[in-house]
Structure 1
Amino acid sequence: MNPALIMALARALMTLAFIGPGASHFLDSAKQRNYMGAAIGAVEVAAGLALAFGWQVRWFALAAAAFLVVDAFIAHGFWAATPQALRNQVLHFFKNLALAGGFVLLALMPQGR
């Protein structure tokens, strides 16, 4: 199997963590006229698309990793979650950290076509 094709597929799959939720964040925030939330959603979608299409991969991968680590601690504080929300918050916290690790690996990969 072609390693470049596998890397492109892996990169595309990782970007779905930004494109799908970012679009949802954008649409939900726009409906509520929350322009800051809509802007954040738009940035998430733009970053996901840049990564998917291979534009400035190293820079966007490192930015995505940093965003995911910060988001894990801000939005998924399982240590303060109610018993009903604990499992969901733990899942999302560690998902964010795992994806951050994947984006760091992506940033370290040789770039080029």
Structure 2
Amino acid sequence: MPEMLAIGVIFVELGGGIKLIIGWNARWVAAAIFVFTAMAALFFHNFWAVPPNEAQNQKINFMKTISMMGGLLYVVVHGGVPFSLSPDTISS
């Protein structure tokens, strides 16, 4: 099962990241990555349930993931940049 999850993670992170860079449907892509990142933060960086010698490292990674979610939320709210390929930024 880990191999299947690794393929899914590669697809979401790499594919979504490329789509964010070029600005293709930036709001939807950012929302999808936001949800994925939130699940990763809760399931994999649970600093509250690890041994004390690992808690500091997990807390740092949890906070890093929360900060990335803030950037994704910004894109969800404000959309892509003016020169992106998103339908909400293309003027006719």
Deviations for 1:63-107, whole angstroms, at most 9, x for unmatched residues? Answer: 111111111110000001112211111011111111111111111
> The residue matched to 1:74 in structure 2 has which SS?
helix
Distance 1:36 1:49, change over 3 A: same
Match of 2:17 in 1: 48
1:21-100 aligned within 5 A? 34-100=3-69
Q: Distance in 1 between matches of 2:63 and 2:69?
A: 10
Seq. identity, %: 28
Which has the higher relative contact order, 1 or 2, with Cα contacts under 8 A spaced 6 or more apart? Answer: 2
Structure 1: any 5+ residue segments left out of the alignment? 1-28
Q: Which runs of 4 or more aligned residues in structure 1 lie more than 3 Å from their structure 2 counterparts after TM superposition?
A: none
Q: 1:105 aligns with which of 74, 78, 82?
A: 74
- Higher percent of residues as helix: 1
Which amino acid in the other structure matches residue 27 of structure 2? R
**One-letter code aligned to 1:71:** A
TM-score by length of 2: 0.76
TM-score where L is the length of structure 1: 0.63
Q: Secondary structure at the match of 2:40?
A: helix
Aligned-pair CA distance for 1:110: 4.5
Query: Quick one: structure 1 residues 68 and 39, their matched pair in 2 at CA, closer, same or farther if it must change by over 3 Å?
Result: closer
User: Number of matched residues?
Assistant: 81
